[in-house]
């Protein structure tokens, strides 16, 4: 299969095609994963999250350049919450991320529309494609908005949370649950007013936590703190490699559960449409001869017999 050969060589066209298959064609995606799965699982996955506009894309752009200088070969997956492939936000990312593209970093946006399980599926398997193509680390950008960000932190080996002094609600955001997931906290846009206060607040609020995260000030505009951030990432990659095994086991277990539950859901949904017991109790329910719970129990019992 030439796609595999080209993927292995890290050819851009092949990677793009493979990720499109992952996103759009379940049947082909299965075939592809079947062929590459055993050769994946060893790259470091870095999740970069934080409020919209914090500077995640800009940071990834300049940090990738530094990471390449340190001898790694990063690739980027941007999980875009607002739009699919033609959307404006992605174009914005493309523009801002040109620098790292020029230097050889592979960058790709994937849409996060649809069921949350679908996002995990796309991200997990796109990661596998990039691993097979020889990239390490794989950086995932996601906006810190609820479900997606939590899923990403489950997939990532290293989680980086980005704040900036311009969003007045930053401390609120900090309190709203981003406190536990970070291995690294960045106060970005340190060239702007308020960065020092925010840095102090983050350090007071998060620095004392058990995880003992790294907290850094960065500015992509002034190129401050970026090489230090890249160095810390490289150190963390080495450190996490030792604990990766355990994390990987639980990640694979939750993926397996997702798949099994999805499969069952699909099967049962099809089954119900032609099931006699279901039809019978549905009618009774609609005639108000039985209540929903009782009808549900009867149908479930019959199905699981
Ligand atoms: N002053 C200043 N502006 C910055 C810095 N980093 C990024 N910006 C600006 O902040 C804006 C948002 O940057 P992005 O990198 O797109 O932020 P993002 O977090 O990826 O945004 P979304 O993907 O939309 O959530 C852009 O206008 C950047 O030029 C910085 O260090 N200092
Ligand atoms: Mg972005």
Cβ of 53 less than 6 Å from ligand 1: yes
**Does any domain span residue 6?**
no
Q: How many CB atoms lie within 10 A of CB 305?
A: 6
Q: How much is the pLDDT for 299?
A: 95
Looking at residue 60, its pLDDT comes to: 94
pLDDT for the residue numbered 107: 87
Nearest to 18 by CA among 41, 35, 43: 35
Domain boundaries, position 269? 258-304
| pLDDT in the model for residue 262 | 86
Domain assignment of residue 101, yes or no: yes
Ligand minimally distant from the alpha carbon of residue 52:
1
State the DSSP code for 38: G
Q: Is the CB of 112 under 6 A from ligand 1?
A: no
Residues 182 and 262 in one domain: no
Find the CATH number of the domain harbouring 69.
3.40.50.300
Mean pLDDT per 10-residue section of the chain, whose length is 305 residues: 91 93 92 96 92 89 95 91 44 46 74 68 93 96 64 83 75 64 92 90 80 92 96 96 83 89 90 93 97 97 89
What's the confidence (pLDDT) of residue 125? 94
Count of domains forming the chain: 2
Q: Ligand 1 atom 6: the closest Cα is on which residue?
A: 55
Q: Which pLDDT score, from 0 to 100, does residue 81 have? A: 61
From residue 14, alpha-carbon distances to 19, 34, 133 in Å are 9, 17, 9
Q: Which ligand is nearest to the CA of 81?
A: 1
Nearest 5 degrees, angle CA 145-CA 150-CA 152?
100
- Answer whether residue 238 is part of any domain: yes
- Considering the domain architecture, whether residues 191 and 284 belong to the same structural domain is answered as no
Residues 105 and 235 in one domain: yes
State whether the beta carbon of 203 lies less than 6 angstroms from ligand 1.
no
Report the predicted TM-score, pTM, of the whole model to 2 decimal places: 0.85
- Three-class SS state of 83: coil
- Ligand 1 atom closest to Cα of residue 54: 19
The rounded distance, in Å, linking the Cα atoms of 214 and 202 is 11
**So what's the pLDDT on residue 86?**
41
281 shares a domain with 206: no
Quick one: 219 and 270 in the same domain? no
Tell me: do 83 and 190 sit in the same domain. yes
239 and 267 in a single domain? The answer is no
Q: What is the pLDDT of residue 165?
A: 83
Q: Are 240 and 251 in contact (CB under 8 A)?
A: no
- Please state the atom number of ligand 1 nearest to the C-alpha of residue 224: 31
- Report whether residue 143 contacts ligand 1, using a CB cutoff of 6 Å: yes
């Amino acid at each position: 299969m030439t796609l595999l050969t080209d993927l292995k060589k890290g050819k851009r066209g092949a990677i793009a095609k493979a990720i499109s298959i992952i996103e759009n064609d379940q049947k082909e995606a299965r075939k592809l994963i079947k062929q590459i799965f055993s050769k994946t699982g060893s790259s470091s996955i870095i999740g970069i999250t934080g409020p919209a506009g914090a500077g995640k894309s800009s940071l990834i752009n300049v940090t990738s350049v530094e990471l390449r200088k340190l001898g790694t070969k990063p690739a980027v997956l941007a999980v875009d919450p607002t739009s699919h492939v033609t959307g404006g936000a992605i174009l914005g990312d493309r523009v801002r991320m040109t620098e790292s593209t020029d230097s050889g970093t592979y960058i790709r946006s994937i849409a996060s529309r649809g069921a949350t399980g679908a996002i995990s599926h796309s991200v997990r398997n796109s990661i596998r494609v990039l691993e097979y193509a020889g990239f390490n680390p794989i950086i995932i950008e996601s906006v810190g908005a609820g479900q997606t960000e939590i899923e990403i932190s489950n997939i990532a080996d290293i989680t980086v949370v980005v704040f900036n002094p311009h969003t007045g609600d930053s401390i609120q955001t900090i309190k709203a649950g981003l406190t536990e997931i970070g291995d690294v906290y960045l106060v970005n846009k340190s060239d702007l007013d308020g960065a020092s206060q925010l840095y102090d607040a983050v350090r007071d609020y998060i620095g004392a936590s058990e995880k003992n995260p790294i907290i850094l000030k960065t500015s992509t505009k002034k190129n401050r703190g970026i090489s230090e951030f890249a160095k810390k990432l490289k150190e963390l990659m080495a450190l996490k490699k030792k604990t990766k095994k355990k994390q990987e086991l639980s990640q694979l277990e939750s993926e397996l559960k997702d798949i099994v539950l999805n499969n069952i859901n699909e099967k049962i949904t099809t089954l119900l449409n032609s099931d006699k017991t279901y039809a019978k109790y549905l009618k009774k329910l609609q005639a108000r001869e039985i209540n929903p719970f009782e009808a549900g129990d009867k149908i479930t019992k019959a199905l699981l017999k």
